[in-house]
Amino acid sequence: MTDNRVTIRRAVESDEPALLDIELTAWDASSGFPSMTEGERAGFFSDRSGPDAHLVAVLDDRVVGYIRLQDKYRFREGAGVLAVNGLAVAVDARGHGIGSALLTAVTEEAERRGARKITLHVHSSNTVARRLYERHGYQVEGTHPREFLIDGEEVDSLTLAKFL
């Protein structure tokens, strides 16, 4: 069950410091890519991934998580396929259903946009996220064996998808 103090809304520019903080602390070798969160990073948003592409979870006035939803393709035949290109919850806010609430909100948004499919990638080692996606109706569409070398370990990448 999601904590009923949690609200989900579209991101705005002023969420950037909180989102950057989550980005730099939420990921580890089993979920993300250490190279992307090491060292200096100027901001969270970019030209191709601005506030409009994000829903955020707010708990007691604090931004504690985000989900990024983007068109997977930029051509007509691929219209209706959306990609979740990021989902993260602050470490100290986990286990309260916030990830689940963000996934529910993204399904509602995708349906509003007339999408027919949502797709995403997850490391096979990311058991918490895999369980969460499974509960939300995502199924494994493909396995990319030994796709990444992360901290010296070969990691399989899975493509998951949910039809709307």
Ligand X SMILES: CC(C)(COP(=O)(O)OP(=O)(O)OC[C@H]1O[C@@H](n2cnc3c(N)ncnc32)[C@H](O)[C@@H]1OP(=O)(O)O)[C@@H](O)C(=O)NCCC(=O)NCCS
Identity of the residue, 101 or 115, whose beta carbon is nearer to ligand X in the bound complex: 101
Contact window for ligand X (CB under 6 A) among 9-17, 75-83, 85-93, 108-116:
85-93
Binding ligand X by CB under 6 A: which of 131, 142, 144, 163? Answer: 131
In the complex with ligand X, which residue's Cβ is closer, 17 or 95?
A: 95
CA 26-87-38 angle, to 5 degrees, is: 40
User: How many whole angstroms separate alpha carbon 16 and alpha carbon 50?
Assistant: 10
Closest by CA position to 55, among listed 110, 11, 109 = 11
Residue 162 in the binding site for ligand X (CB under 6 A): no
The residue (of 96 and 115) whose beta carbon lies closer to ligand X is 96
Orientation angle between helical segments 98-112 and 127-135, nearest 10 degrees: 50
Report DSSP state, residue 49. Answer: B
Local structure of 78: helix, strand or coil? helix
Q: Which residue is nearest to ligand X (CB)?
A: 95
Residue numbers at the binding site for ligand X (CB under 6 A): 26-27, 31, 87-89, 94-100, 122, 126, 128-129, 131-132, 135
